[in-house]
């Protein structure tokens, strides 16, 4: 069973270099520490969008117990304390990716109604949104699978997956290639192979809308950061 | 980074928790520190020289989290009526936010009682509608909803109430067939049997006409809705025919067993045995549809809107109807009068007999 270790080596060389300017643990710890009242509204927003609702207790994956707060009416409730921190962490990664001129690939649920919500946000963020099935070999064998066009002929810097359970294949391939994955994991998903798991609801369209909005915001921030740091003259402008 | 357990320093929320699954049906959430020793997070804070956070600064504790979670708690069962907000509407159906983990699915077939032409535009996003839960949770936790079932329930309730009020209501003719008329009433389909159709013209030109009807049979379990136009018009005109009354009507139908006569909107049966004392081999030879005829009322069933008629009693001599119908009609009134008197006499006689018997009994008891 492939198990991704969440060390710095997991992240791509560019990000690694940047982060090593600071003592790494301190940098991320500082980044992810909650800053008081600022996060209260975030937690309330998450609750409002039903991010805390997990699946039925029977279906929960044992490895998600660390993120589960408890059980209510037979449904598991996700601990938003951890969600907030991990969300910040994941979004920080996406931001850094874009700031360092890397592309981000999104995977969203294929259901028409939810996809329609995510699609304009991905477009606004200049992300590559994968529509439909993740063809095995998309990342590991772009030539044979002929899927490289879907993500612009350049291996993405990181993956943002909103329905990790259905895209286990994508998670696996990214891990094989050392591409970090920011994934929303619901209570019935195994979070181990995901680099930056974000425990949260993956069923409700409001929740998915929220995640996509956060990711889009992170990417736009990253773009601004890139321009501030001196423009992406080298490489593509995407 | 050791793992997520480390990074999730829940220092900001001000409390430290044990890992593992807890059952929080009892809504008291208490911070539990690891007994005696420092928690991991305290140690980390010390290492990096970060001040510990307390509750006032953060303003959000696990208690509040618990309370907030309880606000969004839901317990939805099949058959329950819920209010939901439309999130997104496509040609296949709509996603409705009913406060559950996954948005409820409202298939396009269940939007309304009648099929909808453009499903994707039927609902505007963010409209609040009332729905019924049509199925149990599927493997993803999604519920299927239905508007149509709810509307049908309401239509039937309305119809039952109208029936109890016993008022004539309007309905629209959909189609006419041999057995009767199909109508649309209060969103449901009903049927008027031909016997109760009254003076409805059996032509296709009638489709779309609004007619006033009353309820005969309302059974939601069997999905039966039978109406009667005759009852509505009869009650409207308030025709009361007493037995023994001579009425004049028009022949509306000829059958092997008799004639149907339409008297002022009320239809009555003139049975072949009641036409004349002599045997009549062929009714249609005697009278045709549309001919005026005078007959006497034998009795009237208001509930069913039916009437029994007779011309036999109007005959002066047996066999008159066949020979000379006009003469019978001319003298109808006198004959009817005599018949009525005879009826009265009979009634009185039987009443006297009854009284004698009763008084005899009393005497016997005493």
Lowest mean pLDDT among A1-15, A74-88, B202-216, B226-240: A1-15
Global confidence as pTM: 0.63
Q: What pLDDT is recorded for position B4? A: 33
Indicate the residue of A50, A68, A112 with minimum beta-carbon distance to B21.
A68
Residues of B with Cβ-Cβ distance to A44 under 8 angstroms: 68
Q: What pLDDT is recorded for position A1? A: 29
What φ, ψ does residue B33 adopt, rounded to 5°?
Answer: -90, 150
Chain A from 113 to 132: CB within 8 A of any B CB:
113-114, 116-117
Beta pairing partners, A136? none
Residues of B with Cβ-Cβ distance to A51 under 8 angstroms: none
pLDDT of B49 > 90? The answer is: no
Q: Within a domain: residue A108?
A: yes
Residue bearing tokens 């296709």: B204
User: Do B294 and B228 form a contact (C-beta atoms < 8 A)?
Assistant: no
Residues of B with Cβ-Cβ distance to A207 under 8 angstroms: none
Q: Which CATH number fits domain B151-234: 3.40.50.1370, 3.30.9.10, 2.40.50.140, 3.30.460.80?
A: 2.40.50.140
pLDDT single digits (tens) A119-164: 999 999 989 998 878 889 899 988 888 888 888 888 999 999 999 9
Q: What pLDDT is recorded for position B39? A: 60
- Residue A169 distance to chain B (closest CA, Å): 20
Q: Do A89 and B88 touch (CB under 8 A)?
A: no
Q: Is the four-CA dihedral B244, B245, B247, B253 of positive or negative sign?
A: negative
Alpha carbons B249 and B235: distance in angstroms, whole number: 18
Indicate the residue of B20, B25, B69 with minimum beta-carbon distance to A65.
B20
Percent of chain B with pLDDT over 90: 0
Query: How many inter-chain contacts (A to B, CB under 8 Å) are there?
Result: 147
Q: How many CB atoms lie within 10 A of CB B175?
A: 11
What DSSP state is assigned to residue B34? P
Same domain flag for A214 and A192 = yes
Same domain flag for A95 and A183 = yes
The string of DSSP letters for A173-197 reads HHHHTT--EEEEE-TTS--TT-SEE
Q: Within a domain: residue A131?
A: yes
Q: Do B59 and A86 touch (CB under 8 A)?
A: no
Mean pLDDT, range B110-131, rounded to an integer: 81
Q: Work out how many domains chain A is built from and give that number.
A: 2
Same domain flag for A68 and A91 = no
**B190 inside 8 A of chain A by CB:** no
Q: Do B53 and A36 touch (CB under 8 A)?
A: yes
pLDDT single digits (tens) B10-32: 434 433 344 344 443 333 333 44
Q: Do B25 and A72 touch (CB under 8 A)?
A: yes
Q: Within a domain: residue A166?
A: yes
Domain that holds residue A66: 8-80
Alpha carbons B92 and A115: distance in angstroms, whole number: 14
Same domain flag for A72 and A19 = yes
Find the CATH number of the domain harbouring A216. Answer: 3.40.50.10490
Name the fold adopted by B1-146: OB fold (Dihydrolipoamide Acetyltransferase, E2P) (2.40.50)
- Residue A76 distance to chain B (closest CA, Å): 9
Alpha carbons B293 and B249: distance in angstroms, whole number: 5
Residue B213, exposed/middle/buried by CB under 10 A (0-12, 13-18, 19+)?
A: buried
What φ, ψ does residue B105 adopt, rounded to 5°?
Answer: -110, 125
Interface test with B, best of A36, A68, A81, A115 (most B CBs within 10 A): A81
- The helix (run of H) or strand (run of E) holding residue A159 is strand A158-161
Residues of B with Cβ-Cβ distance to A86 under 8 angstroms: 4, 7-8
Q: What b-and-e string marks burial along A168-191, b requiring 16 or more CB atoms within 10 Å of the CB?
A: bebbbbbbeeebbbbbbbbbbbbb
Same domain flag for A52 and A144 = no
Residues of A with Cβ-Cβ distance to B88 under 8 angstroms: 113-114, 116-117, 205
Mean pLDDT, range B41-70, rounded to an integer: 68
Alpha carbons A148 and A154: distance in angstroms, whole number: 8
Chain B from 89 to 108: CB within 8 A of any A CB:
90, 92, 94-95, 97, 100-103
Alpha carbons B99 and B90: distance in angstroms, whole number: 20
Q: Do A34 and B100 touch (CB under 8 A)?
A: no
Q: Please give the residue of chain B at the shortest CA–CA distance from A81.
A: B10
Query: What is the ipTM, given to two decimal places?
Result: 0.70
Residues of chain B with CATH 2.40.50.140: 1-146, 151-234, 240-340
Same domain flag for A92 and A50 = no
Q: Within a domain: residue A1?
A: no
Q: Do B7 and A113 touch (CB under 8 A)?
A: no
Lowest mean pLDDT among A22-36, A135-149, B62-76, B315-329: A22-36
Q: To 10 degrees, what angle do helices B40-48 and A24-32 make?
A: 120
Q: Do A65 and B21 touch (CB under 8 A)?
A: yes
- State the first-to-last Cα distance of chain A, in angstroms, to the nearest integer: 35
Higher pLDDT, residue A174 or B1: A174
Residues of A with Cβ-Cβ distance to B13 under 8 angstroms: 34, 81
**B240-340 under CATH 2.40.50.140, yes or no:** yes
Residue A131 contacts by C-beta under 8 Å, 6 or more apart in sequence? Answer: A110, A115
Domain boundary among the residues A35, A62, A80 is at A80
Same domain flag for A96 and A145 = yes
Same domain flag for A160 and A188 = yes
Domain boundary among the residues A38, A58, A80 is at A80
Residue-by-residue pLDDT tens, chain A, 238 positions: 233 333 333 344 554 555 556 554 555 554 444 344 566 778 888 888 888 888 888 899 989 988 888 888 888 999 888 888 888 889 989 998 999 999 999 999 888 888 988 999 999 998 999 887 888 989 998 888 888 888 888 899 999 999 999 999 999 999 999 999 999 999 999 999 999 999 999 999 999 999 999 999 899 988 888 888 875 455 444 4
Same domain flag for A19 and A58 = yes
**A133 inside 8 A of chain B by CB:** no
Same domain flag for A87 and A67 = no
Residues of A with Cβ-Cβ distance to B20 under 8 angstroms: 65
Same domain flag for A104 and A222 = yes
**B63 inside 8 A of chain A by CB:** no
Indicate the residue of B13, B22, B141 with minimum beta-carbon distance to A56.
B141
Alpha carbons B230 and B264: distance in angstroms, whole number: 11
Beta pairing partners, B214? B228
Confidence of residue B206 (pLDDT cuts 50, 70, 90): low
- Residue A145 distance to chain B (closest CA, Å): 31
Q: Do B101 and A76 touch (CB under 8 A)?
A: no
Domain boundary among the residues A80, A115, A139 is at A80
Tell how far CA A188 is from the center of its chain: 17
Residue A75 contacts by C-beta under 8 Å, 6 or more apart in sequence? Answer: A53, A54, A55, A56, A57, B101, B141
């Amino acid at each position: 069973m492939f198990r991704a270790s969440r060390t710095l080596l997991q992240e791509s060389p560019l990000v690694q270099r940047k982060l090593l300017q600071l003592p790494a643990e301190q940098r991320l710890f500082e980044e992810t520490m909650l800053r008081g009242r600022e996060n209260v509204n975030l937690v309330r927003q998450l609750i409002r969008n039903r991010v805390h609702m997990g699946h039925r207790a029977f279906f929960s994956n044992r490895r998600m117990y660390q993120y589960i707060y408890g059980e209510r009416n037979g449904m598991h409730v996700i601990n938003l304390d951890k969600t907030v921190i991990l969300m910040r962490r994941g979004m920080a990664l996406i931001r850094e990716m874009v700031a360092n001129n890397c592309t981000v690939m999104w995977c969203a649920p294929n259901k028409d109604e939810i996809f329609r919500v995510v699609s304009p946000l991905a477009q606004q963020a200049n992300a590559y949104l994968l529509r439909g099935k993740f063809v095995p070999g998309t990342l590991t064998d772009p030539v044979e699978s002929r899927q490289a066009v879907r993500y612009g002929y350049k291996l993405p810097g990181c993956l943002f997956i909103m329905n990790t359970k259905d895209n286990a294949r994508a998670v696996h391939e990214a891990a094989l290639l050392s591409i970090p994955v920011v994934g929303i994991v619901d209570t019935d998903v195994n979070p181990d192979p995901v680099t930056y798991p974000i425990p949260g609801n993956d069923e409700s369209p409001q929740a998915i809308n929220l995640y996509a909005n956060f990711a889009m915001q992170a990417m736009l921030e990253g773009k601004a950061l890139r321009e501030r740091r001196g423009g992406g003259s080298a490489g593509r402008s995407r | 980074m050791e793992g997520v357990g480390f990074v999730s320093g829940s220092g900001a929320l001000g409390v430290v928790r044990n890992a593992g699954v807890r059952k929080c049906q009892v809504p008291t959430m208490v911070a539990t520190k690891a007994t005696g020793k420092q928690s991991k997070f305290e140690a980390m804070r010390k290492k990096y020289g970060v001040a510990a956070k307390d509750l006032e600064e953060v303003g959000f504790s696990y208690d509040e989290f618990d309370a907030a979670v309880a606000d969004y708690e839901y317990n939805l069962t099949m058959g329950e009526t819920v209010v939901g907000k439309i999130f997104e509407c496509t040609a296949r159906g709509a996603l409705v936010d009913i406060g559950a983990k996954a948005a409820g699915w409202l298939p396009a077939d269940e939007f309304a009682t009648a099929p909808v032409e453009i499903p994707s535009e039927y609902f505007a996003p963010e409209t609040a509608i009332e729905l019924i839960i049509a199925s149990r949770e599927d493997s993803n936790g999604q519920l299927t909803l239905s508007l149509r079932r709810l509307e049908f329930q309401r239509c039937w309730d309305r119809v039952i109430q109208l029936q109890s009020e016993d008022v004539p209501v309007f309905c629209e003719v959909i189609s006419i067939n041999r057995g009767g008329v199909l109508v649309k009433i209060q969103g449901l389909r009903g049927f008027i049997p031909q016997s109760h159709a009254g003076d409805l013209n059996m032509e296709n030109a009638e489709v779309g006409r609004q007619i006033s009807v009353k309820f005969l049979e309302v059974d939601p379990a069997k999905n039966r809705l039978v109406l009667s136009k005759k009852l509505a018009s009869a009650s409207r005109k308030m025709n009361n025919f007493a037995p023994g009354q001579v009425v004049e009507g028009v022949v509306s139908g000829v059958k092997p067993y008799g004639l149907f006569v339409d008297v002022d909107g009320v239809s009555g049966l003139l049975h072949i045995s009641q036409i004349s004392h002599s045997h009549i081999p062929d009714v249609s030879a005697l009278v045709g549809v549309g001919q005026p005829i005078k007959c006497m009322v034998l009795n009237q069933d208001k509930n069913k809107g039916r009437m029994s008629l007779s011309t036999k009693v109007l005959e002066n001599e047996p066999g008159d109807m066949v020979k000379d119908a006009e003469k019978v009609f001319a003298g109808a009134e006198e004959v009817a009068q005599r018949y009525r008197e005879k009826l009265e006499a009979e009634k009185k006689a039987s009443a006297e007999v009854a009284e004698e018997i009763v008084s005899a009994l009393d005497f016997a008891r005493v």
